[in-house]
A = this chain, B = another copy of it.
Amino acid sequence: MEALPLTSIERLSLNQITTDRWSLREAAEGCVRANIPWIACWRHKVAEGGLKESARIVREAGLRVSSLCRGGMFPAATAEERAKRIDDNRRAIEEAAELGTDVLVLVCGPAPDKDIAAARRMVEEGIEQLVPYAEQCGVRLGIEPLHPMYAAERSVINTLAQANDIAERYRPDQVGVVVDAFHVWWDPELYPQIARASGRILGFHVSDWIVPTPDLLMGRGMMGDGVIDLRRIRKAVEDAGYAGPIEVEIFNQAIWDMPGDDALALTKERYLQHV
């Protein structure tokens, strides 16, 4: 069955990296002006304004927080450094709870050397260590597979199959997966793996893959400007039981250079047209 277009923005969440020039306060005020009900926060933006104040800002704006970006970055060359990363993840969990979201997005980190298999085991061990504290804080860990082009610099978890393999060791209220269309659209196993993630999808992120692709990091496009069949992926995610917020997360200099209100207006328009 064909997926129907969304008819409202009630599930739309602004991932605040999309308006990178804005502080969290500015992004929250922008969402209020645009009637966008959800926001996703980044830790460095939260830190800028202070955690308590950031939590107050989003609460008083009446916004719901879809997720906090990001925990993870588990692999490191020494046990001492890996332990530091776990500590930092515990802080991230506390921040998520304070901000009022129950989803911490995990960008799992690159390998410290050429042994990608060992780094993948470090990710598994890191998650294993975090789960009890996350549960205690009421925060679920969302493993976000990143596109394979980020395997050397950002994450050795590059397919939904890998994320599912890890998540399935836990209860869905402990660990799940985050489906970001930009990262997974190319995957021949995409639809079976989305179905497999049923009941433990903790987030759905949209943007687009533009052609020609200008840059590894900053080449994401606004929905509709690229080749991703976003609606088909949304339908699959919904068929797998996900009915939560849909984050728009775009790293793109041209969009960052737009006045923030214009970027939000375009986001809403394209969300209804293409997601």
Query: Which parts of A138-158 form the interface with B (CB within 8 Å)?
Result: 147-149, 151-153, 156, 158
Residues from chain B with Cβ under 8 Å of A149 in the complex: 147-149, 213, 216
Contact of A152 among B152, B187, B209, B216 (CB under 8 A): B209
Q: Are A152 and B188 in contact (CB under 8 A)?
A: no
Query: Which parts of A90-113 form the interface with B (CB within 8 Å)?
Result: 111, 113
How far is B159's CA from A188's CA once the two chains are assembled, in angstroms? 8
Residues of chain A having any CB pair with chain B under 8 Å: 111, 113-116, 120, 147-149, 151-153, 156, 158-159, 161-162, 185-188, 209, 211-213, 215-216, 226-229
The residue on B at minimum CB distance from A162 is: B188
Tell me how far the C-beta of A75 lies from the nearest C-beta in chain B, rounded to whole angstroms: 12
Q: A152-B209, A156-B186 are in contact. List 5 more A-B contacts (CB 8 A).
A: A114-B228, A114-B229, A152-B211, A159-B188, A162-B188
The residue on B at minimum CB distance from A216 is: B213
Residues from chain B with Cβ under 8 Å of A158 in the complex: 186-188
Q: Are A227 and B114 in contact (CB under 8 A)?
A: yes
Tell me how far the C-beta of A245 lies from the nearest C-beta in chain B, rounded to whole angstroms: 24
Residues from chain B with Cβ under 8 Å of A115 in the complex: 229
* A213 with B148, Cβ < 8 A, contacts A111-B227, A188-B162 known: no
So how many copies of this chain end up in the complex?
Answer: 2
The residue on B at minimum CB distance from A209 is: B152
The residue on B at minimum CB distance from A211 is: B152
Contact of A216 among B151, B216, B227 (CB under 8 A): B216
* A153 with B213, Cβ < 8 A, contacts A114-B229, A148-B148 known: yes
* A188 with B161, Cβ < 8 A, contacts A148-B147, A148-B149, A152-B209 known: yes
Most B C-beta atoms less than 10 A away, residue of A148, A187, A212, A228: A148
How far is B215's CA from A228's CA once the two chains are assembled, in angstroms? 21
How far is B108's CA from A188's CA once the two chains are assembled, in angstroms? 15
How far is B162's CA from A186's CA once the two chains are assembled, in angstroms? 12
